[in-house]
Homo-oligomer: A and B are copies of this chain.
């Protein structure tokens, strides 16, 4: 096996098997089998089962994140950037079956209330992405002035609720519709400004 594409191949196979059986039920032999090798040999490519699991998930989450970032970059209007961010995050995950099945099998990957978030750095980057858009929008006077530190976290929380309900708990249809309605609430607000 050639050294450069190794990790890609390993992660792909590991994600496939882990997403089918979950962490506990997959054995190192299963993954080795998927790769056409023996479990002893797999240890040339993975320190141990736990780190292989962790790295596989990181790989999957980063791929998700980069796809969203790419879609956002394509837009110019800040309002559209914000809406694309919200929609694309859901949209990508609905297509990456293996990733969201694995997330459904292990709620610890994307926990609503993490004690110690195992993928904290990835999620902090996502929050930073939201915050950047907020700050730019405020600077360009497209957005109302809000506490970007707090609101970016709140938006991430709400986004988590939707991701978990829709793709981890399998209520895709109900929540896709609700997402648009919620986006409307967040962007337009509930109150009608009193006439002057």
- CB of A181 within 8 A of CB of B146, answer yes
- What CA separation (Å) do A158 and B153 show in the bound complex? 13
Chain B residues closer than 8 Å to A144, beta-carbon distance: 188-192
Copies of this chain: 2
| A154 part of interface (Cβ distance < 8 Å) | yes
Report the interface size for chain A: residues with CB under 8 A from the other chain.
Answer: 35
| A178 part of interface (Cβ distance < 8 Å) | yes
- CB of A190 within 8 A of CB of B146, answer yes
Chain B residues closer than 8 Å to A113, beta-carbon distance: 112, 164-165, 169
A residues engaging B (CB < 8 A)? 79, 82, 112-113, 134, 137, 141-144, 146-147, 150-151, 153-154, 157-158, 161, 164-165, 169, 177-178, 181-182, 184-192
Known: A137-B190, A153-B178, A185-B186. 8 other contacts (CB 8 A): A134-B190, A141-B192, A144-B189, A144-B190, A146-B185, A151-B185, A187-B191, A188-B189
